[in-house]
Homo-oligomer: A and B are copies of this chain.
Amino acid sequence: MTNPNDFENFQFKKNDTVSLRQFVYQEIREAIIKGHLEPGARLREVEISKQMNVSRGPIREAIRILEQEGLVISHPYRETVVVDLSEEEVIHLLVPTRRNFELFAAQKAVSVLTGEDFAYLDSIILNMQEASNHDDLDRLSDLDLKFHERIVERCVSPAMFRIWNSISGKLHARFLIQGYSHSSLQTVVEEHREMLQLIRSGDKERIEQHLKTHIK
C-alpha cells in the first residue's frame, strides 16, 4: 500500500445486511436442515424473539415462509412444529421430483453456465474429495447441496428455484438424520465429477442417462 495508485483500486465491502425476516428464516431453516431442531420440535415466537433479539413481526413472516416451504406446520392459535415426512413420500415423491428439476437444470446448464460457474463447481468437487477422504459426512452433504443449488439457481427462474429449494431442503434434513445409505462417500464424489464433465461436454443425451442411473 505504499504506491498511491493502490487507492484507485480500493473498494468498500458490499453491504450484505439482509432483512431481519431473511436472517430469521435462514437461521431456523438451517437449524432444521442440520438436524438441530428435530421433527416435532416446537417453535415459540416469543422465545425465538428473545433469543434473536428481534420483534415477532419478522419472525412470523419467516415462519410463514417455512410453512409454505413445508418444513414447519402451524396450528392456528396453538403452536407451530417442525414437520415429519413419511418414508414413502420421500422415496416416491421428493426424490423423483428433485430429479426432474436437476435433469431440467443440467440440460440447460450446457448453454448457460459460465467459466465462473465451472470454477466454483470445480472447487466444490475438490472440497468434496477432501471431505470424502476425511469421512466428513456433514461437510460432504453440505457440498452436495451447494453443487446442485448453484446449477439449479442459474438455470431456473427464481420462482422455480424456491420450489427446488423446498424439496432439496427436506431431503437434506432427512438424509442427515438417517445417515447416507451410500455404499461409499467416494462414489458420491465421482458421480458429481462425471456430471460436471458431461455438462462441459454438452452431451444432453448422456446427461439424462447419467441422472437416470444414479438415482441415489
Tell me the smallest distance from the CB of A27 to a CB of chain B, in Å. Answer: 16
Tell me the smallest distance from the CB of A42 to a CB of chain B, in Å. Answer: 16
Let me know if A86 and B157 touch, CB within 8 A. yes
Interface residues on chain A, number (Cβ under 8 Å): 37
CA distance A21 to B162 in the complex (A): 21
Let me know if A163 and B70 touch, CB within 8 A. yes
CA distance A90 to B167 in the complex (A): 18
CA distance A104 to B57 in the complex (A): 37
Let me know if B159 and A76 touch, CB within 8 A. no
Stretch of A93-101, A113-121, A135-143, A175-183 at the chain-chain interface: A93-101
**Max chain B C-beta neighbours (<10 A), residue from A18, A83, A156, A159:** A159
Residues of B within 8 A of A159 (CB): 70-71, 73, 83, 85, 170
CA distance A101 to B170 in the complex (A): 16
Let me know if B73 and A158 touch, CB within 8 A. yes
Instruction: Report if A69 contacts B (CB, 8 A).
Output: yes
Tell me the smallest distance from the CB of A115 to a CB of chain B, in Å. Answer: 24
* Chain B residue nearest in CB terms to A107: B92
Let me know if B162 and A93 touch, CB within 8 A. no
Residues of B within 8 A of A70 (CB): 158-160, 162-163
Let me know if B89 and A156 touch, CB within 8 A. yes
Stretch of A59-67, A125-133, A185-193, A196-204 at the chain-chain interface: A59-67
Given contacts A85-B157, A86-B157, contact A104 B93 (CB under 8 A): yes
Please name the 4 residue pairs, one residue from A and one from B, whose CB atoms are nearest each other, closest first: A70-B159, A68-B68, A64-B64, A61-B64
